[in-house]
Structure 1
Amino acid sequence: MQFTPNTEAIKALPAKEGLDAVIAMSPENFAYASGAYISTVRLIRPRHAYAVFPAKGEPFNIVCSIEESLTRSESWIPDVRTYTEFAEIPVEVLARELKKEGLGSGKLGIDLDYLPVSAYEALTAALPDAEFVNTTETVTGVRVIKGESEIALIEAATRQTHKAVLDAMEASNQGDSEADMAQKIANNIINYGADGTLFMAFASGERTKHPHTTAQSDVLPRPGDIIRFDVGGTYGAFASDFARTYSAGRPSEEQKDVYAKLIRIQRETIAAVKPGVLAEDLFFLCKDLYAKHGLPFTMPHIGHSFGVELHENPMLRPGDKTPLMAGMVINIEPMVKHATGTYHTEDLVLVTETGYRLLTLGLAPEELPVIGQTINY
């Protein structure tokens, strides 16, 4: 899935920040700034990719030679330069190309939150007269407001993942293992349009207290068990992020009550989304709603933005005073740990000029769903 980055904002960063160039090189910043998604730079950390934006002159990419054709096919930047893996050190090639452009002694911004110390030392040794500043957040700041193509891609990914979950859980039955159910979800995510699965946190019963555990083939959820999962697919440079809670059958009245309260809390929190509301305001509202409904609150955050990175700013946490703005996407995901199980629900919304628009197929049902159940939207 292709998207169009905010190229003008990216190209304007060096002048805006008083720099001679900005170098986007974390996997997420490179993918966004260049428009080219190179999966191996996430999986093979020494394989760097750089998108260089000089204050004067045209931008250029530097990538491993085996990724040249992909970069040329996807990036909006026509100038693609390469290095040979193992034969050349990526940061030394970066230094060489910066010198060619007259930037060897400039003030340069780079993703110091990502660049390994060893690579930074090699880079400063190759460019002793340059000054390096951290522009990780400078580039990620451009990503906060999503463009139309990003929103369309994120919405499609989110809805496909939601449908994958609905169909998989409807097809699940008593006697299925956790792994059986998780496999149904994963198969559907791919069959419905994803490149693959990004993560699959899945647990039942006592194991739901572990937020990011994986499904087990020898664990068969029993009637009365809570089933909780948080899943995501990969869609080019982007992903989906979606959570739901089910019952394995015959839920108790207490389980139904805890679940219903959590769903009401999420719905009331989402209803407060609109431009001007601070990110931390939603956190404290949600926390107050837990107290109102008599549920324990232990969460360090209750949601986050996301895009080419799973967690992006703003984060719905104490201290994040970012005002919500139209074009932001926000995942709102309250969770509660209870004696009867851990419950979790997560939905993505787009902040609009007047409020919000839901990007999932619909909010979780108010009554605790059971495996095998059909849920219509």
Structure 2
Amino acid sequence: MSSQRFDAGVYGRRIAAARSATAQAGLAGLVITPGYDLRYLLGSRAQTFERLTALVLPVSGEPTVVVPRLELAALRQSAVTDLGLAVRDWVDGDNPYQLVAAAMGGAPAATAVTDSMPALHLLPLADVLGVVPVLATDVLRELRMVKDAAEVDVLRKAGAAIDRVHARVPEFLVPGRTEADVAADIAEAIVAEGHSEVAFVIVGSGPHGADPHHEFSDREIQIGDIVVVDIGGAYAPGYNSDSTRTYSIGDPSPEVAQQYSVLQRAQRAAVEAVRPGVTAEQVDAAAREVLADAGLAEYFVHRTGHGIGLSVHEEPYIVAGNDLPLLAGMAFSVEPGIYFPGQWGARIEDIVVVSDDGAQPVNNGPHELIVVAV
């Protein structure tokens, strides 16, 4: 595995699985433009421009990459060459959509496209194909949700790296420093501990901790604050970490300690509910029921979790109403929280991978309210 992508065999198996799923869906083929789906299938970090780049996967016929000639060099960083895929390059003045149609076999046929395809490519492609494509989401959904061994290995490394960052957070949480000061130190640590880039940093102190999507501000850390620290980064070749821990600047009040202990039980209950065959909404309910029994249900204002991989947020979503049965290899966050507007908040988040008989967390830091000595 290079720092940019997995070995070519990984992508060869993914392309074969995608073509098989396409056939089972009764479609003639897939057209995948730059984005997470293309990165998943080819290891390509190509970006979307006004010039079309696309992987064409017909059910009958050979996979073909349509690419502007001026992007050929960048394409070679993907698995295209190692896999021996056909490449059809084009220059300004050519019609790349006709190249896609030719790779699909020429006749109008039911085609699926990645959900990130821009309209500036979708509309002319539909015109040339003679049919309006459908979204490939359902075709690629299960493939991307169920992680293979290579992906799980990287998620574990990313989880260990972000655990090392959390272990350093108490040294940054000094009263009088701002959330922004702390966030800058954390961002530097995310890279220093092995990530290729920072995905996000949330430092929510005191009343800011009651906003689940607060980022950071110029508010100064104060003695007595409860601080929510939610952080993550991309780990080569691009899989994300995401972990939240909650810190107390000095000893917490008895009420805070008691309510936090309920949250800790809720998070543990949700993790313990994870196993193949259990639905996503049942995991959500496991966390919610513990909080409800303690009278804290109204302070848990978001879903229990989200899938993770090449994207920080992807399927499966661990939320009420999602009756999707879990499968071994699925990876997602388990992150209940409690939020008291204008006062404080807390969240505990681990990434877990569904195993044959339960959940294997990739995060192994302490779940207790972490007291920072002052």
**Match for 2:360 among 352, 357, 361?**
357
Task: After superposing the two structures, state which structure 1 stretch, 163-172 or 352-361, moved more.
Answer: 163-172
* Residue identity opposite 2:290 in structure 1: L
Q: Which residue of 2 aligns with 1:31?
A: 39
- Distance in 2 of aligned mates of 1:104 and 1:194: 46
| Contact 2:336-2:347 within 8 A present in 1 as well | yes
Where do residues 17-166 of structure 1 align in structure 2 (5 Å cutoff)?
17-25=25-33, 27-38=35-46, 40-41=47-48, 46=50, 49-65=53-69, 67-76=71-80, 77-79=83-85, 80-82=87-89, 87=92, 92-99=95-102, 102-111=105-114, 113-127=115-129, 129-166=130-167
Q: Which residue of 1 aligns with 2:339?
A: 337
Q: Which residue of 2 aligns with 1:292?
A: 293
Point out where structure 1 has 5 or more consecutive residues left out of the alignment. none
Q: Which residue of 1 aligns with 2:224?
A: 224
| Contact 2:205-2:226 within 8 A present in 1 as well | yes
- Distance in 2 of aligned mates of 1:73 and 1:118: 26
| Contact 2:247-2:371 within 8 A present in 1 as well | yes
In the TM superposition, residue 15 of structure 1 has moved relative to its aligned partner by: 1.9
Q: Which residue of 2 aligns with 1:320?
A: 322
Q: Which residue of 1 aligns with 2:351?
A: 348
- Distance in 1 of aligned mates of 2:334 and 2:90: 42
In the TM superposition, residue 174 of structure 1 has moved relative to its aligned partner by: 2.4
- Distance in 2 of aligned mates of 1:35 and 1:327: 20
| Contact 2:232-2:242 within 8 A present in 1 as well | yes
Instruction: State the TM-score, normalizing by the size of structure 1.
Output: 0.87
Q: Which residue of 1 aligns with 2:212?
A: 211
Instruction: Summarize deviations over 1:283-311 as a string: whole Å, max 9, x none.
Output: 12221111122213343411122111222
Matched residue SS, 1:357 = strand
Instruction: Summarize deviations over 1:333-376 as a string: whole Å, max 9, x none.
Output: 001112540111110111111112111123512xx213369xxx
| Contact 1:279-1:320 within 8 A present in 2 as well | yes
Instruction: Summarize deviations over 1:132-171 as a string: whole Å, max 9, x none.
Output: 2222231122111110000001111121012112113334
Query: Would the alpha carbon gap of residues 263 and 68 (structure 1) be closer, same or farther in structure 2, given more than 3 Å must change?
Result: farther
| Contact 1:29-1:140 within 8 A present in 2 as well | no
Point out where structure 2 has 5 or more consecutive residues left out of the alignment. none
Matched residue SS, 1:324 = coil
Query: Would the alpha carbon gap of residues 342 and 171 (structure 1) be closer, same or farther in structure 2, given more than 3 Å must change?
Result: closer
* Residue identity opposite 1:262 in structure 2: L
- Distance in 2 of aligned mates of 1:332 and 1:316: 8
Matched residue SS, 1:221 = coil
| Contact 2:174-2:221 within 8 A present in 1 as well | no
* Residue identity opposite 2:351 in structure 1: L
Q: Number of residues paired by the alignment?
A: 360
Matched residue SS, 1:109 = strand
- Distance in 2 of aligned mates of 1:26 and 1:336: 38
Q: Which residue of 2 aligns with 1:249?
A: 250
Instruction: Summarize deviations over 1:47-81 as a string: whole Å, max 9, x none.
Output: 65422111122212234555433432332543344
Q: Percent identity?
A: 28
In the TM superposition, residue 114 of structure 1 has moved relative to its aligned partner by: 2.5
| Contact 1:170-1:372 within 8 A present in 2 as well | no
- Distance in 1 of aligned mates of 2:66 and 2:198: 28
Query: Would the alpha carbon gap of residues 150 and 65 (structure 1) be closer, same or farther in structure 2, given more than 3 Å must change?
Result: farther
Query: Would the alpha carbon gap of residues 81 and 308 (structure 1) be closer, same or farther in structure 2, given more than 3 Å must change?
Result: farther
- Distance in 2 of aligned mates of 1:364 and 1:48: 47
Instruction: State the TM-score, normalizing by the size of structure 2.
Output: 0.88
| Contact 1:159-1:360 within 8 A present in 2 as well | yes
Runs of 4+ deviating beyond 6 Å: none
